[in-house]
């Protein structure tokens, strides 16, 4: 009796499909688990880094509190709900007196988005500090916006005084060629990093035009919420 030929049929795609699905499920569980475990730690580290930055851009501040902008241009303690659209950070001295308000801003640099935090003093109507929070500018050139002492010095008393109507700045911030600064609202640029220094000036010009009039008019909101400890 003749022997039946052996079958050459493949086992089908089901085993491969089952293996791929199994690997996908395991990888998904690992990613979710890592996010759940590390998320709170990352958030806490970011909050601590932001608080340190607030103290750097607001010299003399030893305590801070976050405020959300709500309807009618009023500020209330952040995290209490409502229809707030943005958050700023008030800094206070050891006696609980308002030192100023730290504001986040961002815009395009030469390589990528530049994120900064700057401190505004309603009393002196000036920007009193600036720190780069995130930047991918060219090492040795564009990153001088963070490291060049002369450039950083631009932000110790950068004039953002309001016009008589209180709705706009008296003189918008502008970047000028290195060594040609003649006005307190001008930023002395960096030789060899013109694009990056102009980008910082543009970010500050746009942000200050929006936020300075709001914060100045509502400065009493921050005084009423003054804190005396180091918490945020």
Say yes or no: 135 and 218 in one domain.
Answer: yes
Q: Look up residue 1 and give its DSSP letter.
A: -
Are 38 and 126 in a shared domain?
no
Which pLDDT band, with edges at 50, 70 and 90, does 99 fall under? Answer: very high
Look at residue 10 and tell me if it is in a domain: no
pLDDT in tens, 36-57: 766 555 556 666 778 889 999 9
Question: Contact 215/221 with Cβ under 8 angstroms?
Answer: no
* 128 close to 156: Cβ distance less than 8 angstroms: yes
Residue 175 in contact with residue 197, Cβ under 8 Å?
A: yes
Using left for φ > 0, alpha for ψ between -120 and 50, and beta otherwise, residue 131 falls in: beta
Query: Over the range 189-204, which residues count as b (16 or more CB within 10 Å of their CB) and which as e?
Result: bbeebbbbbbbbbbbb
pLDDT single digits (tens) 145-195: 888 899 999 999 999 999 999 899 999 999 999 888 999 999 999 988 888
One domain for residues 38 and 107? no
Percent of the chain whose predicted confidence (pLDDT) is above 90: 52
Domain that holds residue 35: 16-49
Establish if 192 belongs to a structural domain. Answer: yes
């Amino acid at each position: 009796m003749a022997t039946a030929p052996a079958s050459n049929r493949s086992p089908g795609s089901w085993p491969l499909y089952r293996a791929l699905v199994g690997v996908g499920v395991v990888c998904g569980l690992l990613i979710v688990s890592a996010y759940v475990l590390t998320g709170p730690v990352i958030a806490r580290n970011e909050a601590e880094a932001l608080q340190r930055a607030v103290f750097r851009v607001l010299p003399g501040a030893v305590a801070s509190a976050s405020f959300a902008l709500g309807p009618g241009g009023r500020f209330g303690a952040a995290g209490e709900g409502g229809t707030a659209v943005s958050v700023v950070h008030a800094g206070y001295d050891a006696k609980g007196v308002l030192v100023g308000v730290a504001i986040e801003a961002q815009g395009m640099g030469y390589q990528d988005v530049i994120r900064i935090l700057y401190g505004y003093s309603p009393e002196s109507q000036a920007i009193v500090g600036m720190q780069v929070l995130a930047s991918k500018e060219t090492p040795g050139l564009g990153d001088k916006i963070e490291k060049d002492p002369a450039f950083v010095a631009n932000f110790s008393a950068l004039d953002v005084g309001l016009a008589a109507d209180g709705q706009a700045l008296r003189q918008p911030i502008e970047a000028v060629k290195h060594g040609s600064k003649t006005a307190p609202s001008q930023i002395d640029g960096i030789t060899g990093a013109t694009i990056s220094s102009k980008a910082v000036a543009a970010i500050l010009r746009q942000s200050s035009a929006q936020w300075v009039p709001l914060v100045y008019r509502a400065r009493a909101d921050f005084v009423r919420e003054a804190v005396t400890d180091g918490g945020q």
